Amino acid sequence: MFTINIYAENHGWLFEDLKQHFRNLRFVNDIELAVSDRPLVQADAWVALRTKEAIAAPDISRTVVCVHDLLCIDDMYQRSGSRRGVYEAGGLVLCHPEQRRILGEAGIPLEGLQILERPLGALTLFAPRQRKPDLFTVGWVGRDHPRKKLAWFVEAIQQLDRGPEVVLIGSGLGEAASSLRASSVNCRLYDRAEHPISIYPLLYQGLDCLVITSSTEAGPITLFEALATGLPVVSTPVGWAPYFSDKAPLYVRLTGSPRELASHLKDLREEREVMFEQRFEIAELVSEWTLESWIRDVVNLAGSLAQSSTPGKLSSIQSVSNSN
């Protein structure tokens, strides 16, 4: 029996959700999972969910380091940078193919590392919707941050001559909700503090489409959640959105401005019956990726480090890539 310690400081949002999903499993095969805010000394291997916290692991050579974004600013990946733990890590978890290029250009030696490369996917709780909402309903999920460009979404909704129903799900979204309501838009706000992720699948069921306006993302996980629900998505060209847009341009539509976003929403309002009929086809786009399988893949990768007699630079490279 091996013990794998999955850790990340509690700053809320994504990593706390991931930690809870690991807790829910507790065991994977003969591996016991111990989840904490900071690394535990008594473990056989570690998983650093937040990249910059990898350096805190008791043995970095037996640590799997997760990279969840496409950022490479200042000296974060230099030997003295905040993400310097990737240099000595025993394994890496990448969620977008572009991360290989970023790490390579930063001089990170990837040879001899075990690498898991795949998107996180959505929880299996996100299933194709069962009915359409009574009125055309558009959703936006996340937190108010400059990189999320929430103002784009608000501006696009205000440009529509017939305002749709709007659902905002996340944190710090009160100002956006007030702005939409001041424009006579019927807006429902589900604040993250009062509505945990466990009810998100139900909230997605009440949408006609999801909008993503981020300037940079490696997923985003909301893209996979929406598609798994059978929802079409309008997104800026971030993360996996261009991949799915190339594969199914009617289901994932890319936008480069609030005006273009508004135009896509007008089209989807007219096509909502067709999009609902095709919900199972939409969900099939992401059926091979689930968050549960990502968690098991991460644990198995860490387990291989715990079992290795020469952890760190291993003789065989495991690369799981769904980037096509």
Neighbours of 48 (CB within 10 A): 26
Summarised one tens digit per residue, pLDDT across range 46-65 is: 999 999 999 999 999 999 99
Q: Determine whether 206 is exposed, middle or buried from the number of CB atoms within 10 Å of its CB (0-12, 13-18, 19+).
A: middle
Average pLDDT over residues 295-307: 95
The mean pLDDT value for 82-103 works out to 96
Q: What is the pLDDT of residue 114?
A: 93
Does residue 208 register a pLDDT over 70?
yes
CA quadruple 281, 284, 286, 291: dihedral, nearest 10? 130
- pLDDT computed for residue 319 by the predictor: 33
- In order of 129, 130, 164, 208, 269, the CA distances from 133 in angstroms are 10, 10, 11, 7, 12
Q: How far is CA 307 from the centre of its chain?
A: 29
Query: pLDDT value at position 318?
Result: 33
The pLDDT of 193-213, averaged and rounded, is 96
Residue in the block written with tokens 């799981």: 320
Q: What is the pLDDT of residues 145-190, one digit of tens each?
A: 999 999 999 999 999 988 899 999 999 999 999 999 999 999 999 9
309 has pLDDT over 70: no
**Reported pTM:** 0.92
Q: Which residues pair with 46 in a beta bridge?
A: 5, 63
Residue 121 carries which DSSP code? -
DSSP state of 295: H
- For 218-244, give the DSSP string: S--HHHHHHHHTT--EEE-S-TTHHHH
From residue 37, give the alpha-carbon distance in Å to each of 7, 15, 43, 208: 5, 10, 14, 37
Give the pLDDT confidence of 231-290 residue by residue, as tens digits: 999 999 999 999 999 999 999 999 999 999 999 999 999 999 999 999 999 999 999 999
Enumerate the domain spans of the chain.
2-120+290-321, 137-284
Structural fold of domain 137-284: Rossmann fold (3.40.50)
Q: What is the pLDDT of residue 59?
A: 96
The overall average pLDDT reported for the chain is 93
Q: Is 324 or 97 the better-scoring residue by pLDDT? A: 97
Is CATH 3.40.50 what the domain over 2-120+290-321 is classified as, yes or no?
yes
Residue whose C-alpha is closest to residue 302's, from 14, 39, 98, 83: 39
For residue 122 the two structure tokens come to 């959505």
Fold identical between 2-120+290-321 and 137-284? yes
